[in-house]
Amino acid sequence: MATVTEQFGIQQALAKLGIKEINEGTSTGSKNFANGKIIESYSPVDGSLIAKVKASTKEDYETAMAKAAEAFKTWRLMPAPKRGEIVRQMGDELRENKEALGQLVSYEMGKSLQEGLGEVQEMIDICDFAVGLSRQLYGLTMHSERPMHRMYEQWHPIGIVGIISAFNFPVAVWSWNAMIAWVCGDVCIWKPSSKTPLCAVACQNIIKTVLERNNVPEGVSCLVVGNESGDLINNDKRIPLVSFTGSTRIGRHVSKTVAERFGNTILELGGNNAIIVSEHADINMVLVGAVFGAVGTAGQRCTTTRRLIVHQSVYDKTLEVLKSAYGQLKIGNPLDSNNHVGPLIDKGAVQDYLNAIEKAKQEGGKILVEGGVMEGEGYESGCYVKPCIIEAENHFNIVQEETFAPILYVMKFNDIAQAIAMQNDVPQGLSSSIFTNNMREMELFLSHAGSDCGIANVNIGTSGAEIGGAFGGEKETGGGRESGSDAWKAYMRRQTNTINYGSELPLAQGIRFDL
């Protein structure tokens, strides 16, 4: 019987991406080197060892940082449109490697192949966005209170940007940061999750040809692997900006560490996202948004729908269609397009899932769709679980937490003000949604008295943000913004300039200083 790697062409994809049995874990763009311990990457799809990566030592990290610092001196002087042209070429290379990289994302992380391909498409899209941005790094001109003076502001590259990414989006989140940082004139050092290091190695291999073809200095794109590198980045005064994606717990440590050295952070942390289902909602639309939001990526998105707040008048009907849809979900190999739900990342995540279900029961939760671990042929990795629906109260301790798994908590509300209060009454503030055809409810939800999240949607789910908008959230989600809109400003330093083109030197505020 053919193995998963044989049946779905994984070995060919690995070969195209330059993934060997053992890969170097430190790279400075054109050279790969690492001397640390071996990190083994196992696929949650079938439990197989994919390949091994050498972790970066402190010495490897210092070598990479030295290259990055030197490269910045040259890269920042290159005109922004020229930097954009290089990013455009990276987008072309990603197009060429979309199928192979999407397969690797699916196999190493466990998300469906369609989601893996979609993640690579996000990388391509952000390249396109960054190319246009390279000609739009605008400042403002302001009127001075002093005669024959001009004031304006401009934006300069901030320096070396540290990117620490999570396993659930092993390539897209890096690209959201790196492509924008590069057109802004920064250089990047990337520490990927140790659960998905091969995806990072593949990305570095893909862009390597572009960097070399354009004679880009070694060090513009650096890769370091292993948990030790994360703390080295956080404590490094040479890195003015750290973009961290991960749990709130670790994000709190990153925030404190970087702030103590007066560095800046972009924090993309936990979400506890809710969909409000109004009595005026289209239930068929709710079904699509809620089910994909809750079970897509096996519940391992920061924008996953974790709570469904339903008006009491449509509660029974909503649960009826939800339970019917859950009964039709196919759980299995994510590379097989017939399946809807793939595995969790590892057995530790499975245990977290089981613990959350047990805690919900202990607090009085009612199981509406039974969870559990899948067993038997095709589930040998031990990482496949059943999406679960639990009737709960918003104040339950477990409901207030984020569990990275396909668990959906459902609850009732009586009026829209109560629903919005419930939606906001969690520590996190990333994504939110309301399904309604009532314009007053829509506008209230989007007003200053509505959702307190960084993302608020109407008649679409909580999951699936586009790169054109700034992505991020409030409260324990961290407050950072990545990707579109004017998120680029975080990767640059603002400078206010005043020019006196007259022959006298008047002081501001009418102050006189006669000599």
pLDDT tens over the chain, length 515 residues? 568 888 899 999 999 999 999 999 999 998 899 999 999 999 999 999 999 999 999 999 999 999 999 999 999 999 999 999 999 999 999 999 999 999 999 999 999 999 999 999 999 999 999 999 999 999 999 999 999 999 999 999 999 999 999 999 999 999 999 999 999 999 999 999 999 999 999 999 999 999 999 999 999 999 999 999 999 999 999 999 999 999 999 999 999 999 999 999 999 999 999 999 999 999 999 999 999 999 999 999 999 999 999 999 999 999 999 999 999 999 999 999 999 999 999 999 999 999 999 999 999 999 999 999 999 999 999 999 999 999 999 999 999 999 999 999 999 999 999 999 999 999 999 999 999 999 999 999 999 999 999 999 999 999 988 999 999 999 999 999 999 999 999 999 999 999 999 999 999 998 998 88
The conformation of residue 216, written as its DSSP 8-state character, comes to P
- CA–CA separation, 412 and 136 (whole Å): 47
Contact yes or no for 242/160 (Cβ under 8 A): no
Contact yes or no for 385/405 (Cβ under 8 A): yes
Active-site positions read 268, 302
Tokens 């200083």 locate to 513
Classify 41 as helix, strand or coil.
strand
pLDDT score, position 1 = 54
pLDDT score, position 371 = 98
Q: How far is CA 461 from CA 431, 447, 458, 481, in A?
A: 9, 18, 8, 20
- pTM of the full structure: 0.97
pLDDT score, position 108 = 98
Long-range contacts at 385-389 (CB < 8 A, ≥ 24 apart): 385/298, 385/331, 385/343, 385/344, 385/350, 385/353, 386/331, 387/294, 387/295, 387/298, 387/299, 387/326, 387/329, 387/331, 387/341, 388/357, 389/319, 389/322, 389/323, 389/326
Contact yes or no for 387/341 (Cβ under 8 A): yes
pLDDT score, position 329 = 98
What is the largest distance, in Å, between two alpha-carbon atoms of the chain?
Answer: 94
Tokens 């629903």 locate to 419
Per this entry, what is the length of the chain? 515
Task: Provide the residue type at 268 as one letter.
Answer: E
Classify 470 as helix, strand or coil.
strand
Pairing of β 366-369 and β 428-429: unpaired
Structural element, H or E, at residue 433: strand 431-435
- CA–CA separation, 368 and 322 (whole Å): 10
Alpha helix ranges (H) inside 363-497: 416-424, 439-446
* CA R_g for the chain: 24
Task: Please enumerate in sequence order all residues whose Cβ is within 8 A of that of 511, keeping only pairs 6 or more positions apart, or say none.
Answer: none
Axis-axis angle for helices 197-213, 80-96 (nearest 10): 130
Tokens 């067993």 locate to 375
Contact yes or no for 275/434 (Cβ under 8 A): yes
- Per the structure block, which two tokens stand in for 50? 């994919």
pLDDT score, position 3 = 87
Classify 195 as helix, strand or coil.
coil
- CA–CA separation, 431 and 457 (whole Å): 8
